[in-house]
Structure 1
């Protein structure tokens, strides 16, 4: 992923007003990010509980969405992240919803690692759970990036474009 400045990150997030953009809390390690090894950027907002962000490159430009984590009521024993396809204890996977930027007010949701650490989890050579299918790390990385890009594309594509 190409390096982004703080302002570029705020500008690439779709569907946010100026107040929301100003309130974004960047990752604590933002200044230390190794952009050459990032397939996408995802983090939980350190200032706003239940808020996260996912930024990918689509057609050569950074595009991102704000995510809202669902309140956790009941937890399953285990769950799978729809982005990195790793099995995790149920309390480590959350339903995240991103609002479409159009006037429909609809949102699209997916289950993701609760701490949005998909980028790191997919790089683990060994499966995280006994029932998990072992695939090459490179294939897992490519699949994770592709699923993150498709999710953002689904959210940012207007109803008429589909």
Structure 2
């Protein structure tokens, strides 16, 4: 992923107001992000712990090439009890974690549907570091990665496809 500027990130959000985008806090380590290992930028908002954000580069979203990146704002449920014995699977990168390593994130839909309260939910790595898990740059706590027959490039492709399906579900109008 090519590095993004603060301005590009704030202008990218499709499911929140411009005011909300202006108030969000960027990751604390924004200046030191490993951009070359990222397929998307994901972070928990340090100023609002129940908020998180995903930003995809323009070339990751069909019909967006030549345009800007696409950002999705997410809500995080209140902390709940988790079991250290159970494990959970991220629906984007398919990394297995102890149950506290995966969180349900809810994204308001874009447009009028989102303003009416419609959301889309997905279970994702709690730290939103899917690209680093897929590349083996980060290991899940208390668990080793499941053995797969796919190579790293194939896992990256699968992760991108899973993320794109979620983003498109947020962006497209809701059909009742």
TM-score by length of 2: 0.81
Check whether the contact 2:38–2:132 (CA below 8 A) recurs between aligned residues.
no
Q: Specify whether residues 130 and 44 from structure 1 end up closer, same or farther in structure 2 by C-alpha distance, changes over 3 A only.
A: closer
CA distance in 2, matches of 1:140, 1:90: 22
Higher share of residues assigned strand: 1
| 1:73 aligned partner | 80
Indicate whether 1:2 and 2:2 are aligned: yes
Aligned residues: 161
Check whether the contact 1:40–1:56 (CA below 8 A) recurs between aligned residues.
yes
Residue 130 of structure 1 and its aligned partner are, at CA, apart by 6.5
- Pick which of 109-118 and 63-72 moved more: 63-72
Name which of 88, 95, 100 aligns with 1:86.
95
Residue 150 of structure 1 and its aligned partner are, at CA, apart by 1.7
CA distance in 2, matches of 1:136, 1:125: 15
CA distance in 1, matches of 2:36, 2:139: 25
Where do 4+ consecutive residues of structure 1 move more than 6 Å? Answer: none
| 2:15 aligned partner | 15
Q: Specify whether residues 89 and 15 from structure 1 end up closer, same or farther in structure 2 by C-alpha distance, changes over 3 A only.
A: same
Q: Specify whether residues 74 and 139 from structure 1 end up closer, same or farther in structure 2 by C-alpha distance, changes over 3 A only.
A: same
Could you list the runs of 5+ residues in structure 1 that have no partner in the other structure? none
Name which of 119, 136, 152 aligns with 1:124.
136
Could you list the runs of 5+ residues in structure 2 that have no partner in the other structure? none
